[in-house]
Amino acid sequence: MGLAGHEVAFHCVEHRRHSERSEAELAAEAEVGVEALESLGVRPTAWRAPWGIVTAATRRIAAEHGLDLWGWNVDSHDWRGDSRGEMLSALRAAGGLPEGAVVLMHDGIGPGARRSGCAQTVELAAALLDISRADGLRTATVSECRHGSNR
């Protein structure tokens, strides 16, 4: 399946903090999630844990599935329902996009979201791509970053 330069990674089946789950629950969720992606022709190699919470069990299960754990270093706070302009202003105030930035953004509505849709996130993504190009940065998948092929 062609992904046009994108990478599909595993996030979760249920958006629950790993610190609130047993190792058996995490293992079962990883198994279901990875199998679901594989049924679509995608073999994930990266995993971002919900809420960014990684436990010792997360690390063991990730290793069993050959998944690199990833976080982020720039949070768009898009779940709050801010406008594209408000999110851009906050990102600029926090120092903008550093080289190697991994930006946390959401394409769905989940627990804790204070927004009704994703339109502002889509607009933010387009603006961030324009800004990164203007700054001489380029996009890369997390696996490309991990293996150094983004340089």
Percent of residues, the chain, with pLDDT higher than 90: 62
Are 50 and 94 found together in one domain? Answer: no
Its domain, for residue 82, covers 74-146
Residue 148 has pLDDT above 70, yes or no: no
Are 48 and 81 found together in one domain? Answer: no
Are 93 and 140 found together in one domain? Answer: yes
Query: What local confidence, expressed as pLDDT, does residue 149 receive?
Result: 43
Are 64 and 82 found together in one domain? Answer: no
Within 8 A by CB and 6+ apart from 139, the residues are 5, 129, 132
Model pTM?
0.82
The residue assigned the tokens 């844990």 is 49
For residue 12, tell me if it sits in a domain.
Answer: no
Are 63 and 79 found together in one domain? Answer: no
The per-residue pLDDT for range 58-91, each reduced to its tens digit, is: 999 999 999 999 999 899 999 888 999 999 999 9
For residue 1, tell me if it sits in a domain.
Answer: no
Are 124 and 83 found together in one domain? Answer: yes
Number of domains comprising the chain: 2
For residue 134, tell me if it sits in a domain.
Answer: yes
